[in-house]
Structure 1
Amino acid sequence: MPAYQYGGDPFSAMNFDADLEHLEKARGEGRFFENLIRAELLDNTYRALLTVVPDPDMEERKRRAELDRLAAIEARLTEEERARILADALRLKADQDARQDLALLPTLELISTEQKDLLPLFSRALTHSGAAGEDYAEIAGRIASVTGGVGAAAQVQSLAVRDDYLQSFVISGRALDRNAQPFIELLTDLVARLEIEPRRLKEIIAEITTRLESSLAGLGFQFALLRAHSKLSSEGAINDRLQGIGMLHTMRKLARLDEHSLGDLISQLDEIRKVLFRAEALRIVVTCEEAMIQPFEELLTGLVGALAPDGADGHPVKPPALERKPEARTAPVPVAFNVRVFKTVRYTHQDSPALLVLANYLRDTYLHRELREKGGAYGAYAQAGVASATFYFGSYRDPNIVRTYDIFDTAVRWVTDGEIDAEALKEAILGACGDVDPLESPDIKGRREATNRVTGFTREARELFKQRLLQVTADDLRRVTGSYLLGAPAVQTTVAGSDLIEAARKERPALFEVVAAI
């Protein structure tokens, strides 16, 4: 397309070998790129200079215009209208503070702890096994021919207002409108007619375990981060079992089973399927053009009808957080992954936006300089979990352990006692705005909006968060640092090579209370 737009031959892009031959011949004649740069860039007089000058008064004009608009509206309000607005505001606050009806959500809470440990395997087996009389190869062919991919995963989603979370299992996929019927038929076969064969299950277990074992260097930070969070909350403990060290240990145990011992495991996976996929527990989110809504409603009726009615009973299972002991895990890596996590406040709290800005500010200034430039770490992080009410410091592929934890300590004092650079603060605010309002594809945006509705991240709450974000000041950064990080209790976990951990223990014996292999 670019070639066509600029008068070129659009078919030439398909004849890539001819272009390579032409380039090789031109290079052989000498100074091809040098002459090209001079002719097309340096000596090219057909150029344009566009200067964009920011308007420093635009935000203030917009703010004043909005205040004037609101004042004009307020002046026209009758007493009855004022009373109605006040009542609406009070009702909104009551709705935000109310406990959400979690019984209406697709939930993992009726699955036992042992079954939850199998969810990573079940997620993979669901989309990589046979179904409805077809083997894995045939199902894979259907997925490839009528969809843009189908995935499944257990998820833990924080609530916006109170210190709690939802547990759910999500199946997602995308397809063209013309493939709507075969797409829904495929999903129906997967959730209602799944067939897991022992040989195929053994292959899936081996694939997952091999991928994890061969990726420890890349997963070290994720494992350290999830392990640290597991010491703060039940929510973190579940995530560690689903995606962290707990998952790795479960897969290693399953990998030791031979093919003839997988019958009980297949029965457990089928029981998980029956508990999860019940008609009354299903929540369907479709992102599509308006003309496709009715066809999808008709197609989805068949999917719902193929599921068992709601018959599950039991008590919610939420594991406790682990002990808050500093922990080190040895791994076959020559570097360290260090994490320290603090408990903070939820999304709707007035300090949450300032904590998000603080994380960006620290990451791009002090931590980048001290851990990356001076310390040699590949990555230096500060992140505010505004949904989970956490704040963490972290380092990635770090040659240091003791020094890094010292930097985590001094980073807090650097904010409370030092000068805050105005330009860096502005950049941190802009970065935070990008964090809370990212560009997303329509399907992801639709899923996120549906999740926001049931977890309390309402449009009103998000707009208020953005407004507070733009109002964060240097004093706010100092205040939240002093309130939530300075001298506050924290948990920490390190995943590193055994030599690095042993050296750290010799230098500072009390740094870790628990040391074990990953």
Structure 2
Amino acid sequence: MELEIGKVYEGFKLVEKKDINEINSTGILFEHEKSGARLFYLKNEDDNKVFSISFRTPPKDSTGVPHILEHSVLCGSRKFPLKEPFVELIKGSMNTFLNAFTFPDKTMYPVASRNNKDFLNLMNVYLDAVFYPNIYKYKEIMMQEGWHYELENKDSEISYKGVVYNEMKGAFSSPESILFRKISEYLFPDTQYGVESGGDPDFIPNLTQEQFLAFHKKYYHPSNSYIYLYGDMDIIEKLKFLNEEYLKDFTKENVDSELLFQKPFEKIHENTIKYPISSTEKEEDKTFLSMNFSVGNATNTEIYLAFDILEHLLLETPSAPLKKALIDAKIGKDVFGSFEGGILQPMFSIIVKNSNEDQKEKFINIVRDTLSKLVKDGIDKKLIEASINIKEFQLREADYQGYPKGLIYSMKAMDSWLYDEKPWIHLAYEDTLSKIKTSLQTRYFEDIIEKYILKNNHGSVLIVKPAKGLEEEKEAAIKKRLKEYKESLSDKEIEELINNTNELKKRQVTQDSPENLKKIPLLSIKDIDLKAKKISLVEKEENGVKVLYHPEFTNGIIYMNMYFDTEGVKEEMLPYISILSTVIGKLNTEKYQYEDLVKEINIYTGGIRYAAETYSEKGDSEKFYPKFVVKSKVLTGNISKLATLLGEIIGHTKYDDYKRVKEIIQETKSRLEMIMFEKGHIVSASHLFSYFSPMGKYDDIISGLSFYKFIADLEKNFDEKAEEISNSLKEVAETIFNKNNLIVNVTSDEKDYETFAKELPLICQEIGDNRITKVEYKFEFGPENEGLMTSGKVQYVAKAYNFIKLGYSYTGGLLVLKTIANYDYLWNKVRVQGGAYGSFASFQKNGNMFFTSYRDPNLEETINVYDNAGEFFKEFNADDRQMTKYIIGTISDLDFPLTPSMKGERAAEHYIKHIKYEDIQKEREEVLNVKIDDIKGFGEMISSAMKKNYVCVIGNEEKIKQNKSLFNNLVNLFE
């Protein structure tokens, strides 16, 4: 059926259509006549359908009301009056994406599914949530998700609790997070971007229930909504559903959600703020220096794309001239940039990390002098070509690993649609890219630098420096404020607080009725494919090398991954495998200076990456396969160039440029520190495995906390160890890069395979061919049970062991156990009742299992939850409908859609781990046939694992010291 402009379909008037060839889609713009809702449909053949409803939600203060509301509307609604419909959907839908996002000026509620029935179910729950949430019925929702005074009895101390409150305490623990949040605040002080939409913990407790409800009433109206649909679907069916179930009940309103535009500054502003470090950390080399600029308007498609490219060109590669100038000046140990295009006034930042405040003037001068020289002398055209090419490759590939491409397109659409422009202007990038490519013959980027940076007074210099005792002062001030508040209350008011606390706890532990649970729509097992999908794999041999080939339509791209066995590397040399992965490709070779090498890579390929990886043997707690992986992608016509570059890098890298190696080690240490704040739950759980697991110990040495300590020591003592580091890298490279160690994994169209096969000898002739003796590693194990102390305001609490060592074996039923643990037991105990932002379980095929929490205000209480998990599962009970829900939710994870490159990597992983299709099908059948008694049977396994008492916590220094009896070792995480 061909839709016509001007016609009305199910209450929606078709306003405009546009073919968007860049993404093989047609954009169709509707307006719902009665309610005023806007709708953008991206029509294409993608079976992974996406729906999103978004609202323009400009905050007026930093109480975090948009963020708290984002959490809260998903806590029950008119049709679905459960406490947590969102969680019920995660447990029991075939979604390929399900979440919600708070941005500085909008709130988005996206879902995705490949199953049409499931897709409609997800739309239904989300639409009911945003338009008819239970927040008006239960004040406890805002208390739980936002903040509340917690007082259990009249003799207790009052405290602040709440999921978002604790989430943002965690966010404000990271100096990088503080920096980025304050950049916006100081660039746009008079607008919505001058406050924190996510909520600042210092201001969240100022939010009242009345303000909370008023925000929803004002902004969550269809007239202020942006509805998005994507994929291969019956659009008339979806329009009819939207109209009849929801939008026909609303009348168009004039919602004042105007976004304010910051008046340009007359001069650059300068600000200095502090961030907390622990009492044992040194303050030297821990300051962040940044220069930040407001750059135009988000609806300027050229600036939107050009600055994305310019940031890469100036700051994101080893050949980036501004990064190189700042590193050479030794004013800091890490340099990176940031371009935020998803706000009305985009902002561009130049950041130096691990510096000192007295370097400020030097920093400003180097930035200005370097950029002025680039403007005057011109930018190297090969550098420009390289940055444009890498961005164009990313745009055309549209491989957003882990996210449906329809979701990414929805975000790009909002980057113009929210600001009253057409939603496709950033998706139809071809004309804009053509204009930007004129920079290869003109002064395009030089003029942009001059206009938007050098001659732009709407900017800031922001210094974020460390301060000891800051966190302690803040906590003391909070305690004092709460104490004084309690003292100001009457007996009646205190009793009311106690009652509120008890009412909230009662709601949290009260189970939803079976009647309400049944209101959440559910698929049946019949809706699930009983057969696991096969990923094609053809074993070949080329030039004496094992090749795994995956025929896939890849749109003219060849994905080639090289897996080198690293079992010949000596035990004392293991950390150098990871260091090799960070330095290779960034050092000089016989033919190239490293700056020129990077340019060649970015001009002729889609990128080359290097990683140290480990793969466990299925069902074996001891055996694993360590690999050094070289990942590359290239258009078929450039495969010869890729082969030449890989041969040069692998065979002829020079490891004796001490200055360059030191720079990379400093940057690597810096990036690891960022990971520890952002992924502390994974870091603590992974480190735990090193206490008892050979693979866990190996991983810790090459990429975990042990590796961080190793690289921190190298950085600190580099000058004395420079020669040793260089020699070690050379030795490890010679051991790894060997034809006898190699498996090559190729994903491409069948017609392109022969092109690859002809070029493989080019690489192989540059690597060794000696017999390698495998090393037997003699690791030591034991329950170190470390409390890893930081200045952070929250904890990441992990407990783990290996169930195979206890005599149990892996079964697909453990995947269902994981679903139940994550979204029933841990969600209720650690998140809902404990106030942590999240808590997770994992049960792996090699027997390693863990429980871990994220941005957790508690410590001992969370460990107690883990310790009691076994008893919970021994007593576990569920009806047939609940079990079906858990099974469907588990299958949803197994059936997550894979891109061509992901399919190739998944097949190679299975090959290395000796996982056959029969194993995958057996696992699927075990999931589909799991019974309550199977889940109960896992209870004893969990209890036994928890009794081994292997614990690791990353968290607040004071909190860990208060619980020191739980640990064998207290360790300062950072120096």
> TM-score range with shorter-chain normalisation?
0.7 to 0.9
Matches within 5 A, 1:114-513: 114-163=572-621, 164-196=623-655, 197-258=657-718, 261-313=721-773, 315-345=774-804, 351-385=810-844, 387-420=845-878, 422-486=880-944, 488-505=947-964, 509=965, 511-513=966-968
Q: Which residue of 2 aligns with 1:84?
A: none
Give, in whole Å, the separation in 2 of the partners of 1:56 and 1:231.
42
TM-score, normalised with respect to structure 2: 0.43
Unaligned runs of 5+ in 1: 9-30, 67-104
Q: Deviations over 1:258-313 (max 9, x none)?
A: 45752231121111111100122221111111111112111001211221212433
Q: Deviations over 1:416-464 (max 9, x none)?
A: 1243365443333223223334322212321221231232111111111
Offset at 1:55? 7.8
TM-score, normalised with respect to structure 1: 0.78
Give, in whole Å, the separation in 1 of the partners of 2:960 and 2:928.
42
Give, in whole Å, the separation in 2 of the partners of 1:215 and 1:364.
25
1:412 to 1:293, Cα distance in 2 relative to 1, 3 A: same
Offset at 1:390? 1.9
Give, in whole Å, the separation in 2 of the partners of 1:308 and 1:351.
39
Give, in whole Å, the separation in 1 of the partners of 2:633 and 2:850.
35
Give, in whole Å, the separation in 2 of the partners of 1:32 and 1:448.
43
Q: Deviations over 1:22-50 (max 9, x none)?
A: xxxxxxxxx99989569999xx9x94239
Q: Which amino acid aligns with 1:406?
A: N
SS of corresponding position for 1:174:
strand
Higher helix share: 1
Q: Which amino acid aligns with 2:889?
A: G
Q: Which residue of 2 aligns with 1:48?
A: 240
Q: Which residue of 2 aligns with 1:71?
A: none
Q: Which amino acid aligns with 1:500?
A: K
Q: Which residue of 1 aligns with 2:971?
A: 516
Higher strand share: 2
Offset at 1:466? 0.6
The answer to whether the 8 Å contact 1:174/1:443 transfers is no
Give, in whole Å, the separation in 2 of the partners of 1:260 and 1:345.
44
Offset at 1:229? 0.6
The answer to whether the 8 Å contact 1:109/1:318 transfers is no
Q: Which residue of 2 aligns with 1:3?
A: 18
Offset at 1:110? 1.4
Offset at 1:183? 1.3
Q: Which amino acid aligns with 2:704?
A: G
1:32 to 1:217, Cα distance in 2 relative to 1, 3 A: closer
1:266 to 1:449, Cα distance in 2 relative to 1, 3 A: same
Give, in whole Å, the separation in 1 of the partners of 2:759 and 2:226.
60
1:35 to 1:295, Cα distance in 2 relative to 1, 3 A: closer
Tell me the percent identity.
19
Give, in whole Å, the separation in 2 of the partners of 1:440 and 1:292.
21
1:37 to 1:159, Cα distance in 2 relative to 1, 3 A: same
1:441 to 1:150, Cα distance in 2 relative to 1, 3 A: same
1:345 to 1:2, Cα distance in 2 relative to 1, 3 A: farther
The answer to whether the 8 Å contact 2:819/2:890 transfers is yes
Give, in whole Å, the separation in 1 of the partners of 2:833 and 2:930.
29
Q: Which residue of 2 aligns with 1:73?
A: none
Q: Which residue of 2 aligns with 1:12?
A: none
Give, in whole Å, the separation in 1 of the partners of 2:28 and 2:890.
42
SS of corresponding position for 1:420:
coil
Q: Which amino acid aligns with 1:265?
A: I
Q: Deviations over 1:188-228 (max 9, x none)?
A: 11111112322211110111112223443224223211221
Whose relative contact order is higher, 1 or 2, with alpha carbons under 8 Å and at least 6 apart?
Answer: 1
Give, in whole Å, the separation in 2 of the partners of 1:262 and 1:515.
31
The answer to whether the 8 Å contact 2:620/2:846 transfers is no
1:265 to 1:479, Cα distance in 2 relative to 1, 3 A: same
Give, in whole Å, the separation in 1 of the partners of 2:703 and 2:847.
19
1:483 to 1:213, Cα distance in 2 relative to 1, 3 A: closer
1:461 to 1:421, Cα distance in 2 relative to 1, 3 A: same
The answer to whether the 8 Å contact 1:361/1:424 transfers is no
Residue of structure 1 aligned with 2:568, choices 101, 110, 113:
110
Give, in whole Å, the separation in 1 of the partners of 2:751 and 2:522.
42
Offset at 1:334? 1.7
The answer to whether the 8 Å contact 1:111/1:317 transfers is no
Give, in whole Å, the separation in 2 of the partners of 1:39 and 1:282.
51
Offset at 1:136? 1.6
Give, in whole Å, the separation in 1 of the partners of 2:918 and 2:838.
35
Q: Deviations over 1:153-209 (max 9, x none)?
A: 111110114331111111111111111111111111111111232221111011111
Q: Deviations over 1:70-116 (max 9, x none)?
A: xxxxxxxxxxxxxxxxxxxxxxxxxxxxxxxxxxx842221112211
SS of corresponding position for 1:129:
coil
1:491 to 1:424, Cα distance in 2 relative to 1, 3 A: farther
The answer to whether the 8 Å contact 2:577/2:612 transfers is yes
- How many residues are matched? 444
1:57 to 1:198, Cα distance in 2 relative to 1, 3 A: closer
Greater alpha carbon shift after TM alignment, 216-225 vs 174-183: 216-225
Give, in whole Å, the separation in 2 of the partners of 1:244 and 1:40.
42
Q: Which amino acid aligns with 1:419?
A: N
The two structures, once aligned, show a CA RMSD in angstroms of 3.2
